Amino acid sequence: MSEFSMTPEQTRVTRVVLVVVAASSVVCMIPVLVTFLAFHEKRSTVGGVLTMAFCVATVGIETFRLLPAFWGFERFLANRNLCVMQAVLTQFFSLFCVVTFCLIARNLHTLLVARARLQLRAARLQLLVGCGVCILLTGVPWGAGAFGRDGDLYCWYNDSVSANWQLLTFSLPTLASMIIGLTFWILSIAFIRASAAAADSQYSSLRTVRDRTNAEPLLGMRAKPDYKRHLAFVTVYMVVTGIVALNNVVYAVEKSKSHQTPARHFVFWLVDTVTVSGIGVAVALTVGLSRANLMLWRRALCGAGDSVVRSLPSVVVARDSQ
C-alpha cells in the first residue's frame, strides 16, 4: 500500500481512532479475563475453556495492533524486526480467534443437539490442534518473507509480495472456519429457540401457580435470555468479520484497477480500524455480561448468591458458561 498514501491529517485521525478504539477493547476485555482467572467454575467446563481461549485471542489482536502507539508509529513501522513481530502475532491471534469461534460452536451443537458432552481433555486437545494449525499458517508466510509494513498503521502482509499468500494462508482458512462455525451456531440457536418455545407451551398449559413454579427448573425457562445472548454474540462477530472481508475485497479490486485515491484509502483504513479494533468491546458485552458472571462476582464480593446459583437449572448454568 505504499503507492497509495493518506494525507498527513488523515493518517493522524486514523491513528487516533486506532488507539482509542483498540484501547477501549482491551479495557473492556480485562474484566472478562479476570472473571475467568478468578473463578474456577469458569474454567472447569468445556464451554468456559473455549470461551476463555477466544477472549485471549481477542485481547491479543487488539494489544498487538496497539504496539506502534507505544513506540511511535513512524519509528515502529521503520523497524523491520518490530514490524515483522507485529505481523506474526497479528496473524496468529486473528487465526486463533476464528478457530476458537468454530470450536465453541461445535461444542454447543454437540451439547445441545447431539446430546453428548465433550470431555475437558478432548477440548484442550482440540485447542492444541487448532493452535498448531494457526502456527503453521503463520510460520509458512513468515518464512517466505511475506510479512512486513502494511500501510501507515501497522504491519501484516507486505504489499510487495503476491496477494496469493494472504489468500492461501489467511483468507481461505478463515472463510472455511467461519462457514463451519456459522453452520453449527445456526443449528444450535435454532434448537435453543425451539426448546424455549416448547417450554413456554408446556408452561402456559399449567393452570396453578404451584405447578408452574415446580415446572420452571425442569422446562429450562431461562432458555430465552440465553438464546438471545448467543444470537447477539454470533451476530456481532459475523457482522464484524463480514465488514472487514467486504472492505478488503473492495480495496483490493480498486487497487488492482488503480482507482485508489487518498480519500478512499482513508475510508478503507477507518472502516478496518473501527471494526477490527472494536471487536473487543462487542465480545465483552455479549460474553462478559451474563447472569452467571454477575452471580459469581456477587457471591465473591458480598458473600451472597450461593443459593441463587445453586437454584439455577444445571443445563442453564452449562449453557451460560459457553
- Whether 1 has a pLDDT exceeding 50, the answer reads no
- Whether 3 has a pLDDT exceeding 60, the answer reads no
DSSP string, 97-163: HHHHHHHHHHHHHHHHTS-----HHHHHHHHHHHHHHHHHHHHHHHHTT-EEEETTTEEEE-TTS-H
Residue 238 vs residue 101, higher pLDDT: 101
| pLDDT more than 90, % of the chain | 9
Q: How far apart are the first and last CA of the chain?
A: 40
223 closest CA partner among 286, 288, 291: 291
Q: Which three cell numbers stand for residue 1?
A: 500500500
For the segment 117-128, what is each residue's pLDDT rounded down to a tens digit?
A: 667 788 888 899
**For cell 476464528, what's the residue?**
98
CA-to-CA separations, 318 to 32, 42, 46, 102, 186, in angstroms, rounded:
17, 10, 9, 18, 19
Of 33-37, 237-241, 271-275, 313-317, highest mean pLDDT: 33-37
3-state DSSP assignment of residue 305: coil
CA-to-CA separations, 184 to 49, 113, 207, 258, in angstroms, rounded:
18, 10, 37, 40
Residues with Cβ < 8 Å from 79, sequence gap 6 or more?
A: 71
Distance CA 216, CA 292 (A): 18
Region of residue 158 (left: phi > 0; alpha: psi -120 to 50; beta: else): beta
For the segment 167-221, what is each residue's pLDDT rounded down to a tens digit?
A: 888 888 888 888 888 888 888 878 877 776 665 565 455 555 444 444 444 444 4
DSSP string, 192-251: HHHHHHHHHHHHHH--SHHHHHHHHHHHTTTHHHHHHHHHHHHHHHHHHHHHHHHHHHHH
Looking at the whole model, is its pTM more than 0.75? yes
- Whether 100 has a pLDDT exceeding 70, the answer reads yes
